[in-house]
Amino acid sequence: MNKKNVWTTYNRTQLKECDKFADNYKKFLDNSKTEREAVDTIVNEIEDEGYVELSKLINSNTKLKKGDKVYSVLMNKTIIMFKIGSEPLEKGLNILGAHIDSPRLDVKQNPLYEDNGIAYLDTHYYGGIKKYQFVTIPLALHGVVVKKDGTTVILNVGEDEDDPVFFISDILIHLASDQMGKKASNVIEGEALDLVIGNRPFVVEGKEKSEEKENEKNSKLTEGEQYAVKAEKEEKAETGKLSGAVRRGIVALLYDLYGIEEEDFLSAELEIVPAGKSRDAGFDRSMILGYGHDDRVCAYPSARALVEAGDLKRTGCCILVDKEEIGSVGATGMASRFFENTVAELIALTNKSYDDLKLRRCLANSCMLSSDVSAAFDPNFASVFEKKNSAFLGFGPVFNKYNGSRGKYSSNDANAEYIAAVRKVYDDAGVLFQTAELGKVDAGGGGTIAYILAEYGMNVIDSGVAVLNMHSPCEVISKADLYESLRGYIAFLENMDFCNE
């Protein structure tokens, strides 16, 4: 079957719309390097479009009607959006689902230490990464620190031009003969991915002879320096030694800049991500290079599709979840009951009373595009792809009938009737698409959230954007694929009307 390059089908108006949407997406990508940031950015956008938080409607017992726009957020990391259609909810939803977490490094709970005059934060990598790709590049620190009094301190360091950046060191090539002989998986060990955060010792002038002069000297110190001096005395009294002057300097700075004490790391969620903005790639600016395309390149057009879709027959839904990269586990992952509970609340607000049977029918009759990225064919590594069943940059969104690994293990496998219905919706709307598998049968594989929603008996197929350099600090997508995905998602929300026979 011949595939058609999307770029060859666009007129000048469509090219301008494609570029405009790509620019908006880059802003989203730059402002959403963590799940929390992604949720905040989306909430700000959709509230301007008239979306109302579900909890407010529950508290006021407001009954929902056609055209109402609702959203619900869980733990600031997962969001579900709805646009109410004309049909009863038990007829099913048209669902767009994606995830907003990306591979990265996480700061451990007891992270701060010093070794030979260099201060570090100890880390644990999150999701599937090639560890050697995260060394010697500028890194930024994003996240929150929650203090015992409930105060939340938001950190975002390394993105502004005036910000410092951080890094992970690597051995120089002149001394790397042993390292160069290792397997790629062992070139950099997980425990060596520690973030360099400082090198200047904390220095306080020598001790004064009288207590009065000592107190006068200390009163001239910053609050952070005073905190570090106090911590130094307590540490010396308890252990008989000190852990390092550079480390104490970092402790003082964190206190002065953010009001953070070292123990506050215990209740922090800090993520280390590549620093800097996404960029147009190629002389023709046809691509976008940046961190986090997997899976925010599907999340953003999914959310925008629900906002931009017209009147809907079936209620439209957009689910953007956390934890997909580590198995969709936990309260904010797709395997939690958050989605089911939220739909139950929706049914209660559209009926005189809650009806569990209507919930079950709603879930079973729903149709979903599990919008996750697919591997783009890379001519430099053609040996791991099966070309007839590969995705290509610029050929539109990708449908993966099944995923999983080696023998379709842990896979959702969409049925033929549903695929035919999806094909018709896309063809009728003039949306180009392609089909693919994730590499050769024995080369590897991957999973999405599709199988979790399929457990309700609904129809689900994976549909996403092809990505080069997947799971690296700098992933690449085609602007045409991004824009064509938006068009396809809108068509799906407006026109999909399919139920199990």
Q: What is the DSSP string of 174-231?
A: GG-HHHHTS-HHHHS-GGG-PEEEE-PPP--PPPPSSHHHHHHHHHTS-HHHHHHHHH
**Sorting pLDDT into bands at 50, 70 and 90, what band is 166?**
very high
3-state SS assignment for residue 79: strand
pLDDT average, residue stretch 424-449: 88
Q: Quick one: tokens of 418?
A: 């549903």
**Sorting pLDDT into bands at 50, 70 and 90, what band is 290?**
very high
**Sorting pLDDT into bands at 50, 70 and 90, what band is 242?**
low
Residue 215 has pLDDT above 90, yes or no: no
Q: Give CATH superfamily name and number for 105-274.
A: Aminopeptidase i, Domain 2 (2.30.250.10)
What's the mean pLDDT when you consider all of the chain?
92
- For 79, 314, 367, 452, the CA distances from 419, given in Å and listed in that order, are 27, 18, 11, 18
Contact 410, 417 (CB under 8 A): no
Residue 212 has pLDDT above 60, yes or no: no
pLDDT value at residue 216 = 57
**Sorting pLDDT into bands at 50, 70 and 90, what band is 349?**
very high
pLDDT average, residue stretch 442-467: 89
Task: Between 236 and 384, name the one with better pLDDT.
Answer: 384
Contact 33, 276 (CB under 8 A): no
pLDDT average, residue stretch 385-395: 93
Contact 397, 433 (CB under 8 A): yes
pLDDT average, residue stretch 181-185: 93
Contact 85, 315 (CB under 8 A): yes
pLDDT value at residue 445 = 73
Residue type, 204: V
Its pTM stands at 0.93
The reply to whether omega before 115 is within 30° of 0 (cis) is: no
Residues of the chain with CATH 3.40.630.10: 6-102+291-495
Contact partners, residue 166, CB within 8 Å, separation at least 6:
121, 138, 139, 140, 141, 157, 158, 195, 196, 197, 272, 275
Residue 210 has pLDDT above 60, yes or no: no
Residue 209 CB-density burial (10 A; 0-12 exposed, 13-18 middle, 19+ buried): exposed
Residues of the chain with CATH 2.30.250.10: 105-274
pLDDT value at residue 207 = 55
Q: Which CATH class is domain 6-102+291-495?
A: alpha beta
> How far is residue 50's CA from residue 414's CA, in Å, rounded to a whole number?
34
